[in-house]
Chain A
């Protein structure tokens, strides 16, 4: 079964840091681009960042560029999101999501994890 499971969420003060992880199984992890997507309370879905499968291309939403860093460890089948200088508006459920097509980006997300909750508050 293809599966993504996020971890690492929690309560953090403004200005603090968190590192999210997403463990993957059931597919050839190194062959698919992955993204982080979030949904803040009362808001819609917001794409956060993408990392490609093999060539290391990385993209960020304007709202997180310079504060968040996406990375992947293909040997551990794990995706990461290092979040620094957190703000109240980063409070959200964070999902990792897999691109639908092999070695491709910019199409659709056909697998999503259950998400992990990040709360930024003093």
Chain B
């Protein structure tokens, strides 16, 4: 089965930049999406097709990819950005989610 690996946690001070990584084999051949999930809420799509931002998602969220690693960057992090974040890809006719990263805004 295909695996996407993320760091379990990332801590960031308000106003600073948080970067969440996602690694997997042949990631360069796949589109990566990113989701934000807050406690008790449904996931929200924040980035798709590596770098595209859905309407309504703040510009401080951006995506990038290089080689076998993708990244979600939150610039000027706000307290409301504290949440779990998941990357996701399509492989062998399955959607695969990353292991998830808890972002804490200190």
With most chain A CB atoms within 10 A of its CB, the pick from B33, B42, B93 is B42
Q: Judge whether B86 is part of the interface by a CB distance below 8 angstroms.
A: yes
User: Given contacts A44-B97, A59-B94, A112-B43, could you give 20 more A-B pairs where the C-beta distance is less than 8 Å?
Assistant: A44-B98, A45-B35, A45-B43, A45-B86, A45-B88, A45-B97, A45-B100, A59-B93, A61-B94, A100-B54, A107-B33, A107-B48, A108-B31, A108-B45, A108-B49, A108-B88, A109-B43, A110-B48, A112-B44, A115-B42
Identify whether the interface residues of A are mostly helix, strand, loop, or mixed: strand
Identify whether the interface residues of B are mostly helix, strand, loop, or mixed: strand
Residues of chain A contacted by B44 (CB below 8 angstroms):
112
CB pair A47 B31 closer than 8 Å: no
**Hey, which bits of chain B sit against chain A, CB under 8 A?**
1, 31, 33, 35, 37, 42-45, 48-49, 54, 84, 86, 88, 90, 93-100
The answer to whether A100 and B48 touch (CB under 8 A), given A45-B37, A45-B100, is yes
Return the chain A residue nearest B42 by Cβ: A112
Q: Interface 1/0s, chain A 66-92, versus B by CB < 8 A?
A: 000000000000000000000000000
CB pair A108 B94 closer than 8 Å: no
In the bound complex, what is the Cα–Cα distance between A45 and B34 (angstroms)?
A: 12
Q: Interface 1/0s, chain A 33-71, versus B by CB < 8 A?
A: 001010100001111001000000001011000000000
Return the chain B residue nearest A50 by Cβ: B95
In the bound complex, what is the Cα–Cα distance between A115 and B37 (angstroms)?
A: 13
- Chain A interface size, as a band, is 20 to 34
Q: Judge whether A8 is part of the interface by a CB distance below 8 angstroms.
A: no
